[in-house]
Chains A and B, each alone.
Chain A
Amino acid sequence: MTAEAQYAAVPITVTVNGVKHEAAVEPRTLLVYFLREHLNLTGTHVGCDTSQCGACTVHLNGRAVKSCTVLAVQANGAEVKTIEGLAEGDAFHPVQEGFREKHGLQCGYCTPGMIMTAVHLLETNSHPSEDDIKHALEGNICRCTGYINIVESIKWAAEKMRKPA
């Protein structure tokens, strides 16, 4: 018997972007790999894999978390939202629009995580100052160093979200 086989797979039910998924996962499966490899939701990226860079940020029960540092079994019964769940049909989320309008991405690798963190910020603070935005992005690293436009994108989105449609 291999070392892996001696530990039972754990049944989990996770609602991802509104769709309920049932699966049996090895306990050491990280949430990010459950999303990417079991559900083929590859918009969530693995960057540093050490809880630093934030490329793997998703929402777990409405809060931005680093999915490389959450076990899939810990998400049992939870609601997860990924970058794929932000747009409503063809309509981008204002933060996605902001990143397009203000050129908030260069290579794009960090973008899904940046956007998920920004959405969490704007859901908890509709009038963030520039400092609030920078403080909220402390756990998201852009190795193109495109931070200025990322902050501008989030300011643009904040304004858009405040305006009645």
Chain B
Amino acid sequence: MFPASFGYVAARSVAEALELMAKHGDDGKLLAGGHSLIPAMKLRLQSPRMLIDLGTVPGLRGVKEEAGQLVIGALTIHADVAASELVRKHLPGLSDAASVIGDLQVRNRGTIGGSVAHADPAADLPVILTALNASFVAQSPSGSRTLAVDDFFTDFYTTALNADEILTEIRVPIPPAATGTAYAKLPHPASGYVVVSAGALITRQASGSCAASRIAVGGLGSGPLRAVATELELQGKPLTPQIIAAAAAKAAEETDPVDDTYANADYKRHVAAVYARKAIEAAVERASRV
């Protein structure tokens, strides 16, 4: 299988990539690791006339700590996110999620920025980044702006990024003390994509009660969903298995997943509660250790 013919240009800087985007307009498409785009192009689901390669832009890779946040370059591959000492120390839930994307070869090539900008409803990173309250730095010819995760994923394969913007950084707050993060996923057995998944961030009080939480579920809609009813149910309560299970049972409330050949909507809602419980339990366990 071959993509339809296209032109190719390797950008050498973000500024040059922005100029190339302006020059090529709707004909242009940004290329990061290519692990969503190239398969789509081979299937002729997408046929951009000009690929603008960000893989040749220096400075967009790596994880660093800055002002209470981890700053992850958009071109950082999943394998490096998963293995990063900073990520494992501060955001083990993100390491969990990055280490179960696709397979080893995909994680060696696919990038965090490419994945979130592609916004596949069955992707892993949007779910955990929602739980972690990430933000996204976008550059455009008029400057840069930061988008909050709750406003970022707007529809199937659609984000709040404008056509003239490039996602350059993913910023994730380093959680406060006594906070645990975790990600749990039911993968489709053939594709490895998310059937249902959940991400959790839990801050424990010294008493053992829940001081704060952010819970997100994936696979139930056009993008990641905050499980607000679950968060409210946990708030201020002791984090016992019974209370966690009761809160997790609300994770799929008011969601409207679609039936597909592998799982129907009722099943997805049911397993969403199961995986929300797994993610919360794992986050609580980690919160108890730090």
Residues 222-277 of B contacting A (Cβ, < 8 Å): none
Among B1, B2, B105, point to the contact of A57 (Cβ < 8 A).
B105
Which residues of chain A are within 8 angstroms of B34 by Cβ–Cβ distance? 69-71, 74
B104 in contact (CB, < 8 A): yes
Question: In the complex, are the beta carbons of B39 and A51 less than 8 A apart?
Answer: yes
B290 in contact (CB, < 8 A): no
Cβ-closest chain B residue relative to A9: B8
B175 in contact (CB, < 8 A): no
Which residues of chain B are within 8 angstroms of A54 by Cβ–Cβ distance? 103, 105
B173 in contact (CB, < 8 A): no
Give A78 Cβ to nearest chain B Cβ, in Å. Answer: 10
Give B224 Cβ to nearest chain A Cβ, in Å. Answer: 23
Contact with A along B27-65 (1 / 0, CB 8 A): 000010011001101100000000101011000000000
Question: In the complex, are the beta carbons of A64 and B10 less than 8 A apart?
Answer: no
Question: In the complex, are the beta carbons of A27 and B109 less than 8 A apart?
Answer: no
- Total A-B residue pairs with C-beta atoms closer than 8 Å? 91
Which residues of chain B are within 8 angstroms of A3 by Cβ–Cβ distance? 4-5
Among A63, A66, A70, point to the contact of B79 (Cβ < 8 A).
A63
Which residues of chain B are within 8 angstroms of A60 by Cβ–Cβ distance? 108-109
Question: In the complex, are the beta carbons of A10 and B105 less than 8 A apart?
Answer: no
Contact with B along A56-70 (1 / 0, CB 8 A): 010010011110011
Which residues of chain B are within 8 angstroms of A8 by Cβ–Cβ distance? 7
Residues 5-27 of A contacting B (Cβ, < 8 Å): 6-8, 10, 26-27
Among A10, A28, A137, point to the contact of B3 (Cβ < 8 A).
A28
Which residues of chain B are within 8 angstroms of A117 by Cβ–Cβ distance? 104-105
Question: In the complex, are the beta carbons of B79 and A7 less than 8 A apart?
Answer: no
Question: In the complex, are the beta carbons of A27 and B51 less than 8 A apart?
Answer: yes
Contact with B along A20-47 (1 / 0, CB 8 A): 0000001110100000000000000000
Question: In the complex, are the beta carbons of A10 and B39 less than 8 A apart?
Answer: no
Cβ-closest chain A residue relative to B80: A63
Give B205 Cβ to nearest chain A Cβ, in Å. Answer: 36
Among A27, A121, A139, point to the contact of B8 (Cβ < 8 A).
A27
Question: In the complex, are the beta carbons of B55 and A74 less than 8 A apart?
Answer: yes
Give B58 Cβ to nearest chain A Cβ, in Å. Answer: 12
Which residues of chain A are within 8 angstroms of B38 by Cβ–Cβ distance? 51, 69-71
A63-B79, A66-B105, A120-B104 known; A50-B39 Cβ under 8 A: yes
B192 in contact (CB, < 8 A): yes
Q: What is the bound-complex CA distance between A71 and B102, given in angstroms?
A: 19
Question: In the complex, are the beta carbons of A51 and B8 less than 8 A apart?
Answer: no
Question: In the complex, are the beta carbons of B55 and A27 less than 8 A apart?
Answer: no
Question: In the complex, are the beta carbons of A65 and B108 less than 8 A apart?
Answer: yes
A3-B5, A7-B5 known; A138-B51 Cβ under 8 A: no
Question: In the complex, are the beta carbons of A69 and B8 less than 8 A apart?
Answer: no
Give B55 Cβ to nearest chain A Cβ, in Å. Answer: 6
Q: What is the bound-complex CA distance between A107 and B205, given in angstroms?
A: 59
Which residues of chain B are within 8 angstroms of A26 by Cβ–Cβ distance? 5
Q: What is the bound-complex CA distance between A73 and B52, given in angstroms?
A: 12
B106 in contact (CB, < 8 A): yes
B156 in contact (CB, < 8 A): no
Question: In the complex, are the beta carbons of A69 and B2 less than 8 A apart?
Answer: no
A70-B109, A74-B55 known; A28-B35 Cβ under 8 A: no
Question: In the complex, are the beta carbons of A28 and B79 less than 8 A apart?
Answer: no
Which residues of chain B are within 8 angstroms of A135 by Cβ–Cβ distance? 104
A76 in contact (CB, < 8 A): yes
Residues 119-156 of A contacting B (Cβ, < 8 Å): 120-121, 135-140
Question: In the complex, are the beta carbons of A64 and B108 less than 8 A apart?
Answer: yes
Question: In the complex, are the beta carbons of B5 and A69 less than 8 A apart?
Answer: no
- Name the residue among B6, B8, B51, B192 with the largest chain A CB count within 10 angstroms: B8
Among B41, B42, B109, B191, point to the contact of A65 (Cβ < 8 A).
B109
Which residues of chain A are within 8 angstroms of B53 by Cβ–Cβ distance? 73-74
Q: What is the bound-complex CA distance between A6 and B4, given in angstroms?
A: 12
Mark A residues whose CB is within 8 Å of B.
3-4, 6-8, 10, 26-28, 30, 49-52, 54, 57, 60, 63-66, 69-71, 73-74, 76, 117, 120-121, 135-140
Q: A-B pairs with the 10 shortest C-beta distances?
A: A139-B103, A27-B8, A63-B108, A138-B103, A7-B7, A28-B3, A66-B105, A139-B105, A65-B109, A49-B1
